[in-house]
Structure 1
Amino acid sequence: MNHLPLIIKREYLTKVKNKSFIVMTFLSPIIMIALIAVVAYLSQLNNDKERTISILDETGYFKDVFQNTENTIYTKLNGLSLEDAIALVKEKEDYGLLYVSAVDSLEAFADNVKFYSEESPSLTIMSNLERKIEKHLRDMKLQKDGVTFAQIEASNTSIDIAQESFDGQKSSKIDNIVKLAFGGIAGYLLFMFIIIYGNMIMRSVIEEKTSRIIEVIISSVKPIQLMMGKIIGTSLAGVTQFAIWVILGGLLMIIVSSIFGIDLTQASAPQQELMNQAMQAEGAQAMAENLFTAISNLPIINLVIAFIFFFIGGYLLYSSLYAAIGAAVDNETDTQQFMLPILMPLILAVYVGVFTVIEDPHGTVSTVFSFIPFTSPVVMLMRIPFGVPLWQQGLSLLLLIGTFIFAVWFAAKIYRVGILMYGKKPTYKELFKWLKY
């Protein structure tokens, strides 16, 4: 008799009715949004902080270079010595003092510009000051060589190389960012799902084994049915929990933003001034158009279908191994010796995806790892946005399914013997012997 549906139902209801599961399902998004809100609030305070920078320019070259902004005020100091200027800045509690000492020539400026402050200055502030000084000195040197300001302005040329495939499909530099973002998010979700719910399956097996409940269950259920029931039931519970996290997290973000007036995007963009300058330099409208083009160029249907199949295949493959580990040991401490062989392919897949796929998505390394079943769920998902032939996707998926079937057979062998073994820490040699029983 097929007891698989009953086992799936039992595992699912056992998980979702567990008090700790219920508490963490609703508490986790609250904690996460609270942390994001705190970081965003602190970043917002930092970005809104008004800074006063005093400027002591003994050369007189930079009197019109530094203009006040929304959060930065520049105060010019004249007729003061460096010591008096520092004392005045300390007394006024200004952010810092930019000192430009007298020089004999423009070439000597490199070692004659200093910034004095009570504490280490912001990297953004220093970069902004350096950029303004460098631009002004460059213009001054060109003018000294007989180049007029109008000629300098006319010489500034912005190049944005248009990209287009041989088939006429247009793209842009931001395409790679969008594609990598999708692949990275997909790989990260799979990685975290395997770690969190794979461990849940393993702990469930260990708990039933140590409580001897398994001896009663196994008398009427085949080990492979019990193992598959645990994997599928726990997976459904995980999907339920994840869906609640997404819905509740989205609602909390809206509530926090509207009631407390906190811009949660501040948490992901602390250097707003640099971001705004980059947007102005590139052109916000052009960037938005490129972003829209990049998204429209994505093979959305292919991505969604591939994500579902590779996500499910990868999770089931690793979950079967987690269940086998749970059956082979008596407590979580003994699982450590078996965890590294499982985690290493996952970690390797993430590193290959991040450092290889973005540079050469169709290279030998990326292609090979997208066919290896233990790394293909992550690497292939990161390759697909760059355009992967359907036959490669199909072959990779078939290899993944075949390896999953073998892993289930392998895990069921260990599961069948291991669930009734107590008081002994197995070795790899003993696990190999169990496969012959």
Structure 2
Amino acid sequence: MNNIFLITKREFLTQVKKKSFIILTILAPVLLVAFGSVIGLMFKANESHNVIEVVDKSGLFTNQLKSSDQLKYIFVSAADEKSKINNLKGNESLDGILILPEVKSQNFDDFQKNTRLVINNKIGFDTKQRIVSDITDVIKKEKIKQLGIAEAQLNNLDKSFSLKTINVSENNKEDSDLAFGVKSGLSILLMYVTFMFIIIYGVRVMRSVLEEKNNRVVEIIISSVKPFELMMGKILGVTLVALTQFIVWITMSVIGALVLNTGFTSIQKNIPGGNEELASKLDVAQIATQVSHSLLELNFPLIIFVFIVFFLLGYIFYSSIYAAIGSAVDNETETQQFTLFAILPLMLGMYGSFSLMNNPDGPLGFWLSIIPFTSPVAMIARIPFGVPAWQIALSIALLLGTTIFMIFIAGKIYRVGILMYGNKATLKEIWKWIRG
């Protein structure tokens, strides 16, 4: 046991003392936020801003087609239709001309057949669909008016219905759409982080074992320690490295949520009542405040506990597999035929968990979060939505038992494979090592 502690300590200190580890641990959350911002700016930069001139021959659409930030309508006289079309080519300030024919006898079928959009160059599919949607809305209102419904009644018909949801399992807390979106976002983030880090750190263990095996350093090491002690020391050392990073990131995330929740609230209170321009600029800040408030309303102690427990057990489980693979082969090329067995269950758990957002308590969510091969990812994906305590306890018990069994199996493979050179390990040969 003392040897395992010494190897774990050495592996941990070797990793955390590196400048790259310190820089990555501190900057990773900042880089993640920056990356998300860049992606958002890329989508924003690729948004189309089109100017469309409209020839409305019936006058029906003149006051009803409303411009937006992405699509601007400019109404022109029907007498200028031909000249406008002739001068459209090469006109960089105009993207197209929408010809809306006269509506005769409320015959909108003929109107649709004769409506056309003449464009200067290619326009985006979303722009075309937005134009179609705007025209459809106007026609819909006109058809409703033909039924004798007044404008006020028509506006009343368009009012959306908002359903207030109260969750009795969470002390009668209101479960809003924003809260559901926050839970879904947190679920995807935790699930993806777990998936990536199990693979990244698992491969790190495998490469470390393979490197020591190829350098014949392991022959010297195992003269003082048992192969099983060496394997467990490596796994636990890297586990503590990952845990250290997570503790720093969780602390930074909670502090960031608290700052957003309190800082922007105080700023909003100091905005002058009539300053609408300044208030509009803080829309993003208001959204950030609402998101941080929804985050702080979650059961964070339980989420953090489940995240750490399932990550650690899942990591040790899969790292045992990676350590066994590293000991059984002689080079990284040979690892590819075995690593598939470790990656496939994780991928199954991750992609299967995307379907949990609409029904976290469904049968698929239950079994994915109970089966040890997928539970490290699936249970973490479910936990923001709330999971019964007995399911968490059952899943932990099964994962713990399976992890201990996998460590035992990996230890038998590691004990033989770490000293094997020149022989290409096959599944049949590995099975003999396990039985022996």
Match in the other structure for 1:321: 321
Deviations 1:193-212 (A, max 9, x none): 01111111111111110111
Unaligned runs of 5+ in 2: 254-279
**TM-score of the superposed pair, with normalisation by structure 1:** 0.80
| C-alpha deviation, 1:348, in angstroms | 0.9
Identity of aligned residues (%): 40
2:53–2:76 contact (8 Å) kept in structure 1: yes
Match in the other structure for 2:127: 125
1: distance between equivalents of 2:159 and 2:78?
40
1:77–1:85 contact (8 Å) kept in structure 2: no
Aligned CA distance change for structure 1 residues 312 and 122 (closer, same or farther; 3 Å): same
Alignment pair present for 1:428 and 2:405: no
1:157-306 paired onto structure 2 within 5 Å: 157-165=159-167, 169=172, 170-239=174-243, 295=295, 298-306=298-306
Return the structure number with greater relative CO, CA threshold 8 A, min gap 6.
1
Match in the other structure for 1:418: 417
| C-alpha deviation, 1:421, in angstroms | 0.5
2: distance between equivalents of 1:388 and 1:403?
21
Aligned residue identity for 2:100: V
| C-alpha deviation, 1:416, in angstroms | 0.6
1: distance between equivalents of 2:371 and 2:229?
27
1:15-414 paired onto structure 2 within 5 Å: 15-16=15-16, 39-46=39-46, 51-70=50-69, 72-80=71-79, 83-93=82-92, 94-104=94-104, 105-165=107-167, 169=172, 170-239=174-243, 295=295, 298-355=298-355, 357-414=356-413
Aligned CA distance change for structure 1 residues 377 and 353 (closer, same or farther; 3 Å): same
1:171–1:294 contact (8 Å) kept in structure 2: no
SS at match of 1:298: coil
Match in the other structure for 2:276: none
Aligned CA distance change for structure 1 residues 91 and 430 (closer, same or farther; 3 Å): closer
SS at match of 2:52: strand
Match in the other structure for 1:268: none
**TM-score of the superposed pair, with normalisation by structure 2:** 0.80
SS at match of 1:61: coil
Aligned CA distance change for structure 1 residues 18 and 429 (closer, same or farther; 3 Å): farther
SS at match of 2:2: coil
2: distance between equivalents of 1:292 and 1:23?
26
| C-alpha deviation, 1:423, in angstroms | 1.1
Larger mean Cα displacement after TM superposition, 89-98 or 72-81: 72-81
Deviations 1:307-358 (A, max 9, x none): 1111111111111111110000011110111111111111111122111x22
SS at match of 1:3: helix
Q: CA RMSD in A?
A: 3.6
Aligned CA distance change for structure 1 residues 70 and 372 (closer, same or farther; 3 Å): closer
Unaligned runs of 5+ in 1: 250-275
Q: How many residues align?
A: 404
Aligned residue identity for 2:63: D
2: distance between equivalents of 1:298 and 1:19?
35
